[in-house]
Amino acid sequence: MQATGGADGLVQSLLSVADALVRKSVWIIGGDGWAYDIGFGGLDHVLASGRDVNILVLDTEVYSNTGGQASKSTPRGAVAKFAARGKGMPKKDLGMLAMAYGNVYVARVAMGANDQQTLHAFLEAEAYDGPSLIIAYSHCIAHGIDIRKGLDQQKLAVQSGYWPLYRCNPALAEQGKNPLTLDSKEPTIPLEQYAYNETRYRMLLQSDEKRAEELMQLAKHDVQARWQQYREMADIHHNE
């Protein structure tokens, strides 16, 4: 770079490259329909690239923008378009898939349950030199709740064990530490206390009680199995 015109020329030259002198923060933001489903191939490609890119998934568990169709993120037992009898399969674990790469920062957050943990996740994702993925519980009108109480419902989701909070930082593994930190406690309320606050679960209970009860039992097993898996990965030991 050769400056011309004295001091003014030098200033103009510096201004022309100012953007290159500041570290850029790159964020990709999308919903669960994209991240879990129709755009998963692209998401996976970015995670596998090793580039310093941050991804935020606003997980509403349905295709919110197109009328509330079921997606691979829709939980077992919830009613949605194309799942009128309640979705029979469990929710896809996007975080676990991302963690399998070993070099991706992954966090699951719910601001209504723990805003401090949410802040830590964003700061760590931004600081991590590599791809990062934050999956954020995002309450939605399609859930059939009073949106004013959305943050309270997020808290119930965590307390029931349905939405475990965690941060997986590969930088800790480089220090010989366990990369996975489980930030939420063991379930303290039954899954029904969270789920039946929402119309998407109550609808099936009212229309087909037997199927609703069957799917709820399977969903409770999903919660228990997932919690146990994460607990073992985080090396948390409890005295029985």
Q: Are strands 180-182 and 166-168 parallel, antiparallel or unpaired?
A: antiparallel
Residue 65, pLDDT score:
75
Each residue's pLDDT tens digit, 146-165: 999 999 999 999 999 999 99
CA atoms within 13 A on the CB side of 127: 10
* % pLDDT > 90, the chain: 79
> What burial letters (b/e) apply to 43-82, b meaning 16+ CB within 10 Å?
beeebeeeeebbbbbbbbbbbbeeebbbbbbbbbbbbbee
DSSP state of 26: -
pLDDT per position as a tens digit, 64-117: 777 788 899 999 999 988 788 899 999 999 999 999 999 999 999 999 999 999
For 133-147, the pLDDT digits (tens) are: 999 999 999 999 999
For residue range 189-201, what is the model confidence (pLDDT) as tens digits? 999 999 999 999 9
What is the H or E stretch that residue 54 is in?
strand 54-59
On the CB side of 82, CA atoms within 13 Å amount to 11
Average pLDDT for 5-18: 79
Residue 221, both tokens: 């097993």
Q: What's the CA gap between 143 and 51, in Å, rounded?
A: 35
Three-state DSSP at 136 gives strand
| pLDDT given at position 219 | 96
Q: Give the least confident one: 64-68, 122-126, 215-219.
A: 64-68
State yes or no: pLDDT of 19 exceeds 80.
no
**Is the pLDDT at 227 greater than 50, yes or no?**
yes
* pLDDT above 50 (res 1): no
Cβ contact 125:134 at 8 Å? yes
Phi, psi angle pair for 58, to nearest 5°:
-90, 100
